[in-house]
Amino acid sequence: MAVIILATGSYFLLPLFNRAPAQDVSLPGIVTAIEAGQVETLTVRGDSLIATKFDGTRLGSRKESNISTVEALQILGASPEALRTLPIKVENPSFGFAGLFGLLLTVVPLLLVGYIMFRFARQMQGGGLFGGIGRSTPRVLSSAAAKDQKMNMSVVTFDDVAGADQAKLELQEVVEFLRESDKFVKLGARIPKGVLMAGVPGTGKTLMAKAVAGEAGVPFFSISGSEFVEMFVGVGASRVRDLFKRAREQAPAIVFVDEIDAVGRRRGIGLGGGNDEREQTLNQILVEMDGFGTDTNVIVIAATNRPDVLDPALLRPGRFDRKVILDRPDIDARAAILRVHTRGKPLGPYVGIADLAKLTPGFVGADLENLVNEAAILAARRNLSLIGQPEFQDAMERIVAGPERKGRIISQHEREVVAYHESGHAVVMHNLENSDPVHKVSIISRGMALGYTMPLPERDRYLRSKEAFEDELVGLLGGRAAEEIIFNRITTGAADDLERATELARSMITRYGFSEALGLRTFGQVQGNPYLGNLGETPNYGEEMSRRIDQEISQILDTAYQRAKNIIIQQKDRLENLAKTLLDIETVERPQFEALMA
């Protein structure tokens, strides 16, 4: 904006403060003055004529634009002699107000366009004007940098990564390579160049890579695969070149490529005929890694949650030949992670970290961090000075089932249906051999659900039996079974249960080979898509098989429903008791539940 104001300002000033104003006369008036020999100079500025007399006074007039000054004066009777001796000064037309406006009309849009392009160019590479498009913008993090900047930035170490002991053990080696490469080089060992870290999102891959840098005390250059997918072809490759150049200059160093699957997918399978940009970027990464001499002490750590889609060229010896897997944390690891994240936070006296770890199967590190944070927020909103067990409990349920919805108004009859439905789930689950114990039953609505029953595994499980699947189906159908038996009328309340049951029955047949009738073969090929993730399945079986699969699904569901109804009929008294208690106090926790079932 500053530029524009300056420009208008200076044009404005010129005509206004030029000289003393000229006295307006008609054109013949000027001719008369010329003939009288009074005019010293005649200044022509566009169509205006200004005659300056010897005595200093000035006469101004205008002529028509399609005629020259001399012609105009001649026509009006000026003699050739007078004109010959008259000094005529032709000046550039000054800007009148209209001229100024015209100028603004042309200049302002130009300036704006220039400004926008300038901003755009800067944004695209975060650097100077157009010059640095190919420059990578790695974020460097090192203990030295932290000290230089006198920031109180705690450098991540292995202590901050809880639980992942196996991964730490494997990465300890990398730390040693970075710290004392000489030791290895002397013995002729080839220092590994690349480590691939695989794990579902939130398991701490980024955190772990930073911890390796922190432990080794080396700079950490981080860039994400998705950033490479830029708009200009060739930019990704030059970014990679630049990034590695800087890392080599500061060796020993770590280059961290996050989300490498964004560029490192198997080549030649992209949608719409592959993506040149991706391939060039990937090729450049490989070229850089191959170019490391035996003494180049740069280790590339790449992270992905889709190791299965990576180009095999990435995994060859001398490239990402070390693979570190970050698992979902087990119960002990969850406790350790919770301890890391509750460190320094004011906890109430009855907070049991071990219990919380038990309550959170399937949570990854990022989820646990979120849990602690949600609990702290709840405690603050409740004006507490300590974060207590109830806050953790509530935060957990909020994360699993969505926020509580107290305001939802439902009729007494609907409440009863919900109470019996949830009691049905709980009673059926309680009476199944392979089902997890019921942790909580509630008819408080949360998220989309009007009520919920929460089973909780005693320990983490990695393998599940066919019987466990069958029992899970029975538990899922317990709600509908109770509705049918108690009210002799069924509602839409079971829609979600039915969908999950169908899905479960289908994967029992098509994925796990649990169906005796259809045998061991799997059905359908899961289709990955480089950009959208799972696209679904392509059937690799015929119509006849498809019909048999559908039949088998119905068969499995019918059997499970029959079992659920049988349990409800047998346990009708306990079902009634539980439902009445729920209508009374809304939520029943495990100890009370077990007392009711006894």
Asked if residue 497 binds Zn ion (CB under 5 A), the reply is yes
Task: State in angstroms the smallest separation of the CB of 200 from Mg ion.
Answer: 11
Q: Are strands 253-258 and 88-91 parallel, antiparallel or unpaired?
A: unpaired
Name the nearest CA neighbour of 35 among 81, 68, 69, 88: 81
The per-residue b/e assignment along 309-330, b for 16 or more CB within 10 angstroms, e otherwise, is ebbeebbeeebbebebebbbbe
3-state DSSP percent of the chain in helix, strand and coil, to 5: 50, 15, 35
Q: Which residue's C-beta sits nearest to ligand ADP?
A: 365
d(CA 171, CA 573): 58
Residue 185 or 366 having the CB closest to ligand ADP: 366
Name the nearest CA neighbour of 305 among 534, 535, 538, 537: 534
Distances from the Cα of 184 to the Cα of 176, 178, 394, angstroms = 9, 10, 52
Helix axes 235-249, 276-290, angle to 10 degrees: 20
Q: Which does 497 bind (CB under 5 to 8 A by kind): ligand ADP, Zn ion, Mg ion, none?
A: Zn ion
Q: Which does 199 bind (CB under 5 to 8 A by kind): Mg ion, ligand ADP, Zn ion, none?
A: ligand ADP
Asked if residue 199 binds ligand ADP (CB under 6 A), the reply is yes
Joined together, the tokens standing for residue 585 give 């106090």
Q: Which does 207 bind (CB under 5 to 8 A by kind): Mg ion, ligand ADP, Zn ion, none?
A: ligand ADP
Stretch that binds Zn ion, among 123-131, 462-470, 477-485, 536-544 (CB under 5 A): 477-485
Residue 337 or 387 having the CB closest to Mg ion: 337
Q: Give one DSSP letter per residue of 416-428, joined into a string.
A: HHHHHHHHHHHHH
- Return the residue of 479, 574, 578, 596 that touches Zn ion, per CB under 5 A: 479
Stretch that binds Zn ion, among 31-39, 363-371, 385-393, 479-487 (CB under 5 A): 479-487
Stretch that binds Zn ion, among 164-172, 375-383, 494-502, 587-595 (CB under 5 A): 494-502
Asked if residue 369 binds ligand ADP (CB under 6 A), the reply is yes
Joined together, the tokens standing for residue 147 give 């000290």
Whether 466 and 505 have beta carbons less than 8 Å apart is answered as: no
Residue 201 or 447 having the CB closest to ligand ADP: 201
Name the nearest CA neighbour of 42 among 54, 33, 51, 34: 51
Q: How many residues contact ligand ADP, by CB under 6 A?
A: 18
Task: State in angstroms the smallest separation of the CB of 497 from Zn ion.
Answer: 4
Task: State in angstroms the smallest separation of the CB of 254 from Mg ion.
Answer: 15
Query: Under rule CB under 6 A, which residues in 311-340 are in contact with ligand ADP?
Result: 337, 340
Asked if residue 203 binds ligand ADP (CB under 6 A), the reply is yes
Asked if residue 259 binds Zn ion (CB under 5 A), the reply is no
Catalytic residues: 422
Taking the alpha carbons at both ends of the chain, their separation in whole angstroms is: 79
Residue type present at position 131? G
Query: Under rule CB under 6 A, which residues in 152-191 are in contact with ligand ADP?
Result: 161-164
Task: State in angstroms the smallest separation of the CB of 344 from ligand ADP.
Answer: 14
Joined together, the tokens standing for residue 271 give 């949608």
Residue 450 or 556 having the CB closest to Zn ion: 450
Task: State in angstroms the smallest separation of the CB of 369 from ligand ADP.
Answer: 4
- Return the residue of 365, 388, 479, 493 that touches ligand ADP, per CB under 6 A: 365
d(CA 578, CA 597): 8
Task: State in angstroms the smallest separation of the CB of 333 from ligand ADP.
Answer: 7
Across 478-554, the runs of DSSP E, i.e. the strands, are 525-529, 533-538
Asked if residue 239 binds ligand ADP (CB under 6 A), the reply is no
Joined together, the tokens standing for residue 43 give 């200044």
Footprint on this chain of ligand ADP (rule: CB under 6 A)? 161-164, 199, 201-207, 303, 337, 340, 365-366, 369
Contacting residues toward Zn ion, per CB under 5 A: 479, 497
